[in-house]
Structure 1
Amino acid sequence: MRYRLPESHRPYTDAYFLRSRHILEREDLNPRVTMQIFLRQGPGRIHGIDEAVGIIGSFAGNGGRNLTVHALPEGAEYAPLETLMLIEGPIQDFIELETLYLGVIASATSERNGDPLPDPSAVERRAAAIREMLPDKQLMYFGSRHWHWTYDEEITRAAIRGGFDSCATDAGATASGLSGGVGTIPHALVLTFAHRVGMERATAEATLAFDRHMDPSIARIALVDTFNREVTDSIATAEALGSRLWGVRLDTAGENLGQGGTPFDGRTHWTGNGVTVELVRNVREQLDAAGHNDVNIVLSSGFGDLEKIAAFKEGEARYGRLFESIGIGSLFPARFATADIVRIEGRDIAKAGRGLHPNPRLRRVL
């Protein structure tokens, strides 16, 4: 089956993947990795697999000749968290494609299982509600990977009309009158550096590489949750970059209790796994105690939920300054697809809580 493809994937790709490819090239870092894709929402039938494979085959480096892809068949039944696809190959060949292939899987699976299309007016209302609750925070739209690339401009415009300040893709930015997509470091870049320097140094070294190779006008924001070392890696990166570090981003997965978090005690969004008020409060306090009160905190993961926003607003009223900026993708309901590196050069290296889950039902499709 033939699908419409963009002339180039790059305008529809999250900026931090484009920047990561540039950094990896400059650092001569191109190990063979295994990327694992799954959906949280389900069960149902998986769709968009054939189109995702078409995107990978059309836009991968070296014509995709160095890649192998295994996946469930189009239309197969799937379960939540089940591995739907494995992509194996040199990281530089396909790191830029994640936004597009996740988007087509999420949108096709959502539609074919009876979920509604995103409503731009509802997206604008949700964005406006968040802006009203957080009038002084930077709000970034990071939801391009959650739906088909052909909707990116329309949905992004709705988010910006609702009061968001920026977005992740150049296509969305151009459509909204902005200068370009924003975003700094994904987990894939940190994990690739872990292959080179080890887990303990990976976060700081990935951020130092960003600092070496990116234009000075781009804020240096470290991603510090990859190995569940939110406090340790925040301080280590602040010490490594000094005044050049604008902030640290917390994106702790729902599988994990973040370092410095409080086990769940009944207070939803305040305690428990993921990015919680108490986790952020502790990271803020530890940074301040180490003399890094000038380092800002950026949040992501699940902040399309107005109740979560309300909890953090109350947290700041109680504790004082906690964060400066939020990246939000979930401004509309969908069966969101997620991709994680789980193996590098045959060795298990993964984000905390996201290890390899083999699936004997996968078949080779590329």
Structure 2
Amino acid sequence: MPAYTFPNDHRPYTDTYFIHSRTILEGDGFNPMVSYEVFIRDPGVVRGIDEAVAVIDTYAPDLAAKGGSVHALPDGSRYESAEPLMHIRGPVQDLIELETMYLGVLTAETTRANGGGEVDLKQVAERARAIRKLCPDKQLIYFGARHWRYDADAAISEAVLKEGWDGASTDVGAQAGGFEHGVGTIPHALVLVYAHVYGREQATLKATQAFHRHIEPDSPRIALVDTFNREIDDALATARALGDDLFGIRLDTPGEHPGQGADPEDKDTDIYHGYWGGSGVTVSMNKAAREALDKAGYEHVKIVLSSGFGKVEKVRAFVEGERRHGRLFDSMGIGGVFPAMHATSDIVQVEDVDLAKDGRGFHENPRLVRMI
């Protein structure tokens, strides 16, 4: 395997919600063995495997000694859509902070190997400016650190933040745009660990309460409510439990299924550009969640949207939704502001028991070979 030189500390290049998660897990004493599955939706030739493995080996050097392992397709292999590219197993505290860096490497190198170009910072700025123009009064946070290499994050973040956005998910990204620290709350990985301990129905609430116990008070309490397709149920449960301390909820429903409360069928595609109903984060689901919170007396709870909002047409659909239906959302976490073959990593097993967010799961792949 080639030799790579990485920063002494990975944390400045890491999404803040993973840093928070490590703090929370240490505070509650939870460190189960987990398995991650890495995939890319677009088929092609995978590159960056060796460097991604080196990221893990550098920052989790005792992984094998602790019973962990990394299996992956050999660098340069052709793969099919959503075929597992890597299975990564180890104690969650060793792995949870590394996802941003290894996914960024895989995404960038695979994009380049399949005919994609370099990130055009001018086009990034234009996209960021167009989104800000559509949402002049909304909080916009750049969530795209995992969508390209860690050593380009500062330049990309700076291009976005100069267009009037309100923060970035990593410290290096935030500081490039004049902010002190990256921002972020809870990832699906943390919710899945709490699901292992408390069960699926309690997981979102328990993870949010753990965040509330262990993270500094000036970090907004935002519950990630889509892990188990219980967007409305978990939004109301966390609102009841945290009351005025709950700043907001985040909707990040994956494209494998409709969110709770969503219209299962899309309609008015000419108005909503294909984002009214169906799978993923949709206008109809957003509307249902807002109405449920308001009806229960939780008008103060804000709604943060993420997943696919680097597409200007998707942003425009939700802005149109507000024009027609009133207040829907307050903030967006946005990553895909340039074309790339995005790599995704999900926890799919906890202590060798299948456990994943709805729509995802463990898939065998006999083509993977052991790297660590």
| In 1, Cα distance between equivalents of 2:266 and 2:136 | 30
Superposed, which structure 2 residues align to 1:3-14 within 5 Å?
3-14=4-15
Is the aligned partner of 1:280 residue 2:281? Answer: no
| 2:63–2:69 Cα contact (<8 Å) kept | no
2:63 and 2:90 in contact (8 A); partners too: no
| Separation in structure 2 between the aligned mates of residue 307 and residue 174 of structure 1, nearest angstrom | 29
What's the counterpart of residue 354 of structure 1?
A: 360
Aligned AA (1:11): P
CA distance in 2, matches of 1:164, 1:362: 41
| Unpaired runs of at least 5, structure 1 | none
| 1:74-113 Cα distance to aligned partner (Å, 9 max, x none) | 0000111110000001100110000000000000000111
The alignment partner of 2:320 has SS state of helix
CA drift at 1:256: 1.2
Matched-pair contact (CA < 8 Å) for 2:46–2:79: yes
Which residue of 1 is the match for residue 200 of structure 2? 199
Is the aligned partner of 1:145 residue 2:146? yes
1:258 aligns with 2:264: no
Whether 2:92 is the aligned partner of 1:91: answer yes
The TM-score normalised by the length of structure 1 is 0.98
Partner of 2:50: helix, strand, or coil? Answer: helix
Give the superposed CA RMSD.
Answer: 0.9
Listed as ranges, the matches of 1:22-61 within 5 Å are 22-41=23-42, 43-60=43-60
Partner of residue 244, structure 2: 243
Matched, 1:78 2:79: yes
Identity %: 55
The C-alpha deviation readout for 1:229-278, integer Å capped at 9, x for no partner, is 00000000111111100000000000011000111234311111000000
Paired residue secondary structure (1:340): strand
Residue identity matched to 2:189: A
1: CA distance between counterparts of 2:149 and 2:344? 14
Supply the AA of the counterpart residue of 1:46. V
Deviates more, 1:223-232 or 1:3-12: 3-12
User: 1:289: which partner in 2?
Assistant: 295
Residues of 1 paired with 2:299 and 2:176: CA distance? Answer: 36
Structure 1 residues 119-170: Cα deviation after superposition (integer angstroms, max 9, x where no partner) = 1111111000000000000000000001011100000000001221100000
Residue 61 of structure 1, CA deviation: 6.3
Deviation at 1:4, TM superposition (A): 2.8
Q: Which secondary structure state, in structure 1, belongs to the residue aligned with residue 100 of structure 2?
A: helix
Q: Is the 8 A contact 1:64 1:93 kept in 2?
A: no
Size of the alignment, in residue pairs? Answer: 365
Tell me if the contact between 2:69 and 2:370 (Cα under 8 Å) persists in the aligned partners.
Answer: yes
State whether residues 126 and 162 of structure 1, in contact with CA within 8 Å, keep that contact through their aligned partners in structure 2. Answer: no
SS at match of 1:150: helix
Contact 1:140 1:168 in 2 (8 A): yes
Counterpart for residue 178 of structure 2: 177
Counterpart in the other structure of 2:114: 113
What SS does the corresponding residue of 2:210 show, helix, strand or coil?
helix
Task: Go from structure 1 to structure 2 and tell me whether the alpha carbon gap of 1:169 and 1:64 turns closer, same or farther (over 3 Å shift).
Answer: farther
8 Å Cα contact 1:103-1:147 kept in structure 2: yes
Alpha-carbon distance in structure 2 between the residues aligned to 1:305 and 1:84? 26
Preserved contact between residue 16 and residue 185 of structure 1 (Cα < 8 Å) = yes
Q: Which amino acid aligns with 1:246?
A: F
Alpha-carbon contact 2:266-2:275 (below 8 Å) kept: no
Q: With structure 2 as the length reference, what TM-score do the two structures score?
A: 0.97
1:305 aligned partner: 311
- Matches of 1:38 and 1:343, distance apart in 2: 15
Match of 1:229 in 2: 230
